[in-house]
Amino acid sequence: MDIAVIGSGMAGLATARILKDAGHSITIFEALPGRGMDSHSIKFEGGLIDAPLRVMNPHLWKNTLSLATYLGIPTFPVRTYMACSWLFEDRTETWLTTSRSRIGNFPIINNRKGIQQYGWRMVKGMLQLKAAITRFFKSKNQEITLAEFINNNDIEEVFWHGAVMPVLYTICTCNPKTIGEWPAKPLLTFLRQLTDGDALLRIQGGTPALVNKLIEGIEIHDSSAITQVKEQEQGVVVENASGEQRIFDRVIVATPTNKIETFLNNEQFADDIALLKKFKFEQGQLVIHTDQTVMPPKRKDWAVLSYMMDRKFTRQQFTVWLNSVEPSLVGKNPVFQTWQPVTEIDPKKIISSVTLTRAVVDSQTVALNKELQVRHKDLNRKVYYCGSWSCDGLPLLESAVTSAMNIAEILNAPLPFVGLKPKVEVAPQLGY
C-alpha cells in the first residue's frame, strides 16, 4: 500500500521503518525542518548534545533497543550514579552521593555525611519499599494511583522523596503531582526492574544515528505542517501548507493528539477528534547550558544525575552532566541539561532552551487507549493514530515504539526485530 506517516517523532519513524521493510511505500510528513525525533540535537565544541539525552535500561526499553539492534546500531554501557543536594536560601548542601555503580540498584551512599545522617533512613526506606511492592503485586487491587500506593504504605520520607521520586521524575519528565496520579502498576514495575543491576545503555552516535537508520530509503517532506486529511472514495487525501497534495491508501497520524484538530476533516473524523482531545499533555523546559551552579558545590561530588530540592520537597530540579555519558563531549567544557530549573541559570551560559511535550498518564487515559484500540480494529478504517501517548507504560521512547508495533500488527506487517538482544560494545572512555 501507499502509506503516509504524519510526524517524525519516534512513533512515526518506527512505524515508517516497520511498514517500509514490510514492502509498503512510505512518505513521511513533518512540520519542523528535518526530523522531529532529533530536531533538538545540537553540536557543542565538536561534540554531540542530545536533547533530551537518552540512556536505556535493557528491560524497560527492550523493544527500542531491539529495533536499534535490527538496524545495526551498537550500544555501550554507562553508569548513571547520582548526587542529591538541599537547596537552602543562602547555600546548596550535598547530602547524598552514590557510588559509581549502575542506577539499577537503589542508592548506595558513599559520602560520610550521608551515611551518618541518612544511612539508616535510606536502608529502612529501601526495605519498606521492597516489601510494599511485593504486597502490591500479590494483591487483587492493582488499579490504584501512585499517590494511593504511598498513602497505603509507610515509607521513609527522605528515601521516597529524596531518592525514589527524583528517579521517577527523571524518567517521566512531568511534575510530581502528575506522577502521583499515574497508575501505580507501571511505575512499580519500573522500580522493581531497576533493581536487577543491569547497566544502562546508550546508542552509539546518539539519537541522530538512530534517526538516520530509521529513515533510510524513505521519502520525507519536512518544513511544512499538514493542513488537511480527508477521506475520498479512492483513498485519503493529505495536503500540507506548501500546497502538496497526494492520495494514500492509509494514513498514520503520529503526532500529539492536541494537534490533530487542525488538519483532520472535522465532519469525517468527529468521533475520533472527540476521543483524542480527551488525552492530556504537559509541557516542560529543558535548558542546555554550561552553568556549574546546578551541580554540587564540591567537584568531587559531581555525578551524572544531580538532584536539587528544598527540605519540604516542594522545589526540585534535576540536571544531567552530559560529558559523563557522551563520548564526543569528553575533554570539552562541562555542559549540562537541566529539566524545569528552579534555580537561576546564567542567561549568558544558556546554549538552548527546549520546550518538551509529553502525555499525561492516568486512569482516564488507560480507558481512552482501550477505546482507541477497539476503533483501530474496524476493517474499513483508513486512518490510524499512534504515539507515546497511546500506551500506558513508560518510558516515552519505549511507549512510542510499542505504539508503532500495534499499528504494524493491525496492518499485518512482520516485526523481525522483536526479541533481539542489544549489541553492546566496549564502553568508550567517559568523563567520570
What would the mean pLDDT of 374-387 be, rounded to a whole number? 94
pLDDT at 99 over 80: no
Minimal CA–CA distance to 262: which of 246, 278, 282, 277? Answer: 277
pLDDT at 115 over 80: no
Q: What nine digits make up the cell of 261?
A: 484538530
pLDDT at 104 over 80: no
> What is the domain partition of the chain in residue ranges?
2-53+204-279+361-410
pLDDT at 134 over 90: yes
Cα(26)–Cα(2) distance, rounded to whole angstroms? 6
Using pLDDT thresholds of 50, 70 and 90, give the confidence band for residue 117. confident
Least confident segment among 155-159, 220-224, 400-404? 155-159
pLDDT (tens digit per residue) in 262-306 = 999 999 999 999 999 999 888 889 999 999 999 999 998 898 889
Query: Could you tell me how far CA 277 lies from the centroid of its own chain?
Result: 21
Minimal CA–CA distance to 366: which of 101, 169, 158, 145? Answer: 145
pLDDT at 195: 54
pLDDT at 100: 46
Amino acid at 331: G
pLDDT at 32 over 90: no
Minimal CA–CA distance to 305: which of 318, 293, 316, 292? Answer: 318
% of the chain at pLDDT higher than 90:
57
Strands 75-78 and 200-203: antiparallel
pLDDT at 389: 87
Torsion of CA 124, 180, 257, 219, to 10 degrees: -10
What is the domain class of 2-53+204-279+361-410 according to CATH?
alpha beta
Q: What nine digits make up the cell of 168?
A: 521517577
Least confident segment among 69-73, 139-143, 383-387, 414-418? 139-143
**Average pLDDT across the chain, whole number:** 88
pLDDT at 101 over 50: no
First to last CA, the chain: 50
pLDDT at 427: 63
* Higher per-residue pLDDT: 358 or 6: 6
